[in-house]
Amino acid sequence: MNVLVLNAGSSSQKSCLYNIDTDLPDRPSSPLWEAKVDWPHHQGAAELTVKTASGTVQEALETNSREVVLSRMLTTLWEGKTQVLAQPSDVAVVGHRVVHGGQDYYESIVITPQVKETIARLATFAPLHNPANLEGIVAVERILGTSIPQVAVFDTAFHSQLPLPAAVYPIPYSWFSKGIRRYGFHGISYQYCSQRSAQLLERPLDTLRLIICHLGNGCSLAAIRNGRSIDTTMGFTPLEGLMMGTRSGSIDPGILLYLLREENFSGDELGQMLNRESGLKGVSGVSNDMRQITAAVAANNAQAQLAFDAYIHRLRSAIGGMVATLGGLDALVFTAGVGENSPAVRSAACETLAFLGLELDAAKNQQSPVDQDIATANSAVRVLVVKTEEDWTIAQECWRLVRS
C-alpha cells in the first residue's frame, strides 16, 4: 500500500511516501520519497527539496500559491529524476496532519465534505495551520482526483482525555459548554515519542511518568502518565504556553485589553502580532530560527541573548510545573527541530533540574544524539532525544483505517 503523507506546519510543508506491506512494522520504515517546502519570510517564493534513493531535486518556485507548489511537488512522484511511481493512481491513500479537531474529532477519520467544512470552521482556532491543512486536502483532490481516500489525523486527539481540572479555564463555566477549553496540540508527535521512549527505556509505557518537550518553530510540553496526556502547555489554540519561534505563548491578557483600548489595535492586528511577530523573532529582532539566535548570541548580540534566556526561563518554569503535576519524573524527552538539534537548549533546560537527581552527560549531549539517552549512568532521571516521526504515525493511521 502506497501511503502519501502531507504534514503542513506554520512555516514549512513536509511530505513523504511510504510503501507498507501486509504487516505494519513496529518501527518506522524509510520513505520511498521525501519532499519539503519552505516558505521564506519574503512573499511570493517557495523552496522545494525532493529526495529519493535515486537522486535529489532542489527548486526555487516563484509563487505564493500553495496549490501550484503542491502540484509541482507531487508530480516529482511520477516524473523525472525522483520518480518512484508509474502514475498518480498508484497512491492508495493520502494522510494529512490536521492541527485542530475541536470537540468534533477525537480520532483519525476518512475525509468527507462535512469533515472539510469542520476543519474550515476550526481554522479560527488555528489560523496558522488549519487553513494550510485544508488547502492541502483540496489540492490533492484536484491533482489526484476524488477517488483516492484521504485521512485527517488530528493533533488534538492525543489530549482528548485531559483531566477536567487541566482542560477547564478559570472563566465563566458557560463558556466551557460552548467549547472554550484546553485542547492541546502536537499530539501526533507525543503519541509517537511516548511509545518510542518506552521502547528506549525498555519499560511498559503505562508505568512511566514522562515530560516531552516538542520544541520547533511551535513549542509545547506534555506531561504523560501511564501513556495518557494529563497536562499540556498549548490550550484552546496553538498560541498558548511556551515562547515560540514567532508566537508569543502565554502573556497577561490585560496587555491585549490595553492594546485594544489605548492603542486602537484591531483583532486582526493582535493576531498578526501574537502569531507572526512575537516569540524569538519579536524579542531578538534577529530571527525565529534558534540556529540564527545562537549564532547571534555567540556574536555578543545582547537582544538575541535576552530572547534565548527568556525562552529557557519559560521552558524551565513549565517543566517544573509538570513535575509537580506528575508527582515525579522518570524521563525528560526532547524532540522536534530545536529539541533534537540544539545542545544549548537541552543543556540550559536541564541545568536547574539537579534537585531531581538529573545529570546530563555533556559529551553525549554534543554528539548529535538520535533516539538516545543522554543522561549520565548515575542520573535519577533519564534524558532522551527522540527523533519525532509524525509522518510515520500518520501513515500508520491511514493504513489502519483503509485496512478496516
Closest CA relative to residue 267, chosen from 281, 252, 256, 277: 256
How many Cα atoms occupy the beta-carbon half-sphere of 317 within 13 Å? Answer: 11
Phi, psi of 342 (to 5 degrees): -115, 95
| Active-site annotation holder among 155, 231, 361, 391 | 155
Q: Give dist(CA 152, CA 398) in Å, integer.
A: 9
* Three-state secondary structure call for residue 60: strand
Asked if 192 and 219 touch (Cβ cutoff 8 Å), the reply is no
DSSP string, 250-290: S--HHHHHHHHHHS---HHHHHHHHHHS-HHHHHHSS-S-H
Catalytic residue at 206?
no
Reading the block at residue 308, the C-alpha cell is: 534565548
Reading the block at residue 201, the C-alpha cell is: 527505556
Q: Which residues contact 403 (CB under 8 A, 6 or more apart)?
A: none
Rg (CA), the chain: 21
Q: Give dist(CA 227, CA 230) in Å, integer.
A: 9
Active site residues: 155
